[in-house]
Chain A
Amino acid sequence: MKDIFLVSNVVFKESIRHKIILSLIILSFLIILSSLILDPIALGERERLVKDAGLSTISLFSLLIIILSGTRLIYQEIEKKTIFIIITKPISRERLLLGKFMGLLLIIYSYSLVSSLFLAVVLFFAKIPFSHSLFYSLLLITMQSTLLSAIAIFFASFASPVLSGIFTLMAYISGQFINDIAFFIEKSSSIIVKIFIKFLMLIIPNFYYLDIKINAVNNLPVSANYMVFAISYTLIYVTLLLFASTLIFGKKEFY
């Protein structure tokens, strides 16, 4: 485990010293804060507006950090040839990749924690209660980020940063709308289309399961069973993606 921790620590240090990542974090804080000054146009929906802006900002900026950081993690090693230094040391390629993933999670979890605390402070000063469903929603945003990180690492294990960035974004967008698309296509009479959609639903991660912002914003309860299902879904998906990524990365040659 020590070698995985060492690699993740380096990924974390490298990222937090990167100006773009720091700028993104500061920008997201400013957006959360700015939701307070939108009070006049909130039309009495101030609580909903602040919560929605906070959750959406954390979710969006997590996605941006993952795309900017995660998709470059592997390629940068190959492009800048730091990989020759690392893989000739007593660490397996699988553990190196897991270290990269853990490092990315460390960045994202730190961001999620700090931004959630910041949102809590903003809510406190705005005299808006921090509900259970808001906490669950933040927890599932973190799960969503975990899944996205695994997707980014998977694509980064074989594609360039630009391509893996595009693939990760596409996986996120299609994962957000897969249920809606499925709903309409279920009405199709073609069996082939139905089978194709079922197949897509199986391989495309369903981010719909991890989005309970509506519950948080409207103070609707979230059951414990649902949380267990959503977290389990994420963990199974992440395990499968990491398994596939290590298989690809293990066979990769570096010239």
Chain B
Amino acid sequence: MNNIININNVKKTYKMQFPFKRIDAVNGISFNVDENEVFGLLGPNGAGKSTTLKMLMGVIKPNSGNIEILSGSIIDRNIRKKIGFLPENPSFYQFLTAYETLDFIAGLFNVPKELKQDRIKTLIGLVGLSEAMHNPVGSFSKGMVQRLGMAQALINDPEILVLDEPMSGLDPIGRKEMKDIILMMKRRGKTLVFSSHILPDIEMLADKVCVINKGTVVGIGYIHDIIKSELKEFDIEILTNDTINKMLEKYKDECKYFSIHENKIFITITDHIKAEEIVNLVRDNDGKVLSFIPRENKLEDYFMNLMKD
């Protein structure tokens, strides 16, 4: 697959006006994005995700390092024509209607007149703003503005879609709809780069994830490699008796979690052979396994391990 975004050792330092402090927002970030890939930038608040995306989009210039997009620079207008961008907490002209806003942005992309009207209406429908199409943006809720932000990012039918916290400010229905749009773009073979601090969103949508913390890349990899199919641990709930209680004492040290409440035992254990032994022991001694839940490795574990390091 072709690399269509190359970010190489990029650094950005913000100089504060007062008290004249320097903040290293991004400190040598490097990663590549392949064509047709959904690339997730994951990190806690203030990790440098938005700064990285702003540099990618040419809003701010890096102090050092190199950014290449579609084999060129974002300064090139012809390259910008192929990219859709949704900034974090987007904002629009308050007195323009949603339709006028999209009409203006479509004009900047030089969308042909014969396509423009249909495309605007389709996108407005796609993001669920049909009823508010002719209302001024100033009257919109945060979620509606976010939806309009998504529509404007798609107005040029972009090859690359860069989304900074796309689910921010949306209610559960809005989040679902936004995820559906991202998945639809993925199916259409678009390349997507999006940032989020919400792990399930990245896990569900991204092919590849880059974890950023304190302005540096602390981990990068394909989601299917990170979320390994092997089982991580087992949660077991047992209806017990005195015999079983005594017999399970020997497993106590090997359990990640072991707790007795009245006639129930709650266990979390990582060793699957020991887990099976416990289940058999309970059954052989007139006890009952109330639940047995195998747990897989999640992105959360990967993320938390990286944050610990």
Contact = CB atoms under 8 A, between A and B. Distances in A.
A212 B179 CA distance: 64
A89 B96 contact: no
A85 B14 contact: no
Interface size class of A (residues with CB under 8 A): 20 to 34
A90 B109 CA distance: 6
B95 A14 contact: yes
Nearest to A81: B91
B261 to A, nearest CB: 52
Interface in B1-29: 14
A9 B78 CA distance: 23
A17 interface: yes
29 contacts: A6-B104, A6-B108, A14-B93, A14-B96, A18-B95, A80-B94, A82-B92, A82-B93, A84-B54, A84-B59, A84-B85, A84-B87, A85-B85, A85-B90, A85-B91, A85-B92, A85-B105, A85-B149, A85-B152, A86-B108, A88-B59, A88-B83, A88-B85, A90-B77, A90-B80, A90-B109, A90-B110, A253-B61, A254-B60
B104 A10 contact: yes
B91 A80 contact: yes
Interface in B142-198: 149, 152
Interface size class of B (residues with CB under 8 A): 20 to 34
Interface of A: 2-3, 6, 9-10, 13-14, 17-18, 80-92, 253-255
Given A2-B110, A6-B108, A14-B95, A90 B81 contact: yes
Contacts of A13: 95-96, 100
B99 to A, nearest CB: 12
Nearest to B103: A6
A85 B205 CA distance: 24
Nearest to B152: A85
B96 A87 contact: no
B60 A255 contact: yes
Contacts of B109: 89-90
A249 to B, nearest CB: 13
B59 A89 contact: no
Contact of A81 (B83, B89, B94, B104): B89
Contacts of B89: 81
Contacts of B14: 255
B57 interface: yes
Contacts of A85: 85, 87, 90-92, 105, 149, 152
Contacts of A89: 80, 105, 108-109
B72 interface: no
Contacts of B125: none
Contacts of B78: 90
A89 to B, nearest CB: 4
A85 B57 CA distance: 10
Minimum-distance CB pairs A-B, first 3? A84-B87, A17-B95, A90-B77
B107 interface: yes
A108 B212 CA distance: 49
Contacts of B96: 10, 13-14
Contacts of A18: 95
- A85, A90, A253, most chain B CB atoms within 10 A: A85
A196 B57 CA distance: 45
A90 B110 CA distance: 9
A34 to B, nearest CB: 30
Interface string B52-92: 00100111110000000000000001101101010101111
A88 B105 CA distance: 11
Given A2-B110, A17-B136, 13 more contacts: A3-B108, A13-B96, A80-B91, A81-B90, A82-B91, A82-B92, A84-B91, A87-B58, A88-B58, A88-B59, A89-B80, A90-B80, A90-B110
Given A88-B57, A89-B109, A255-B60, A81 B87 contact: yes
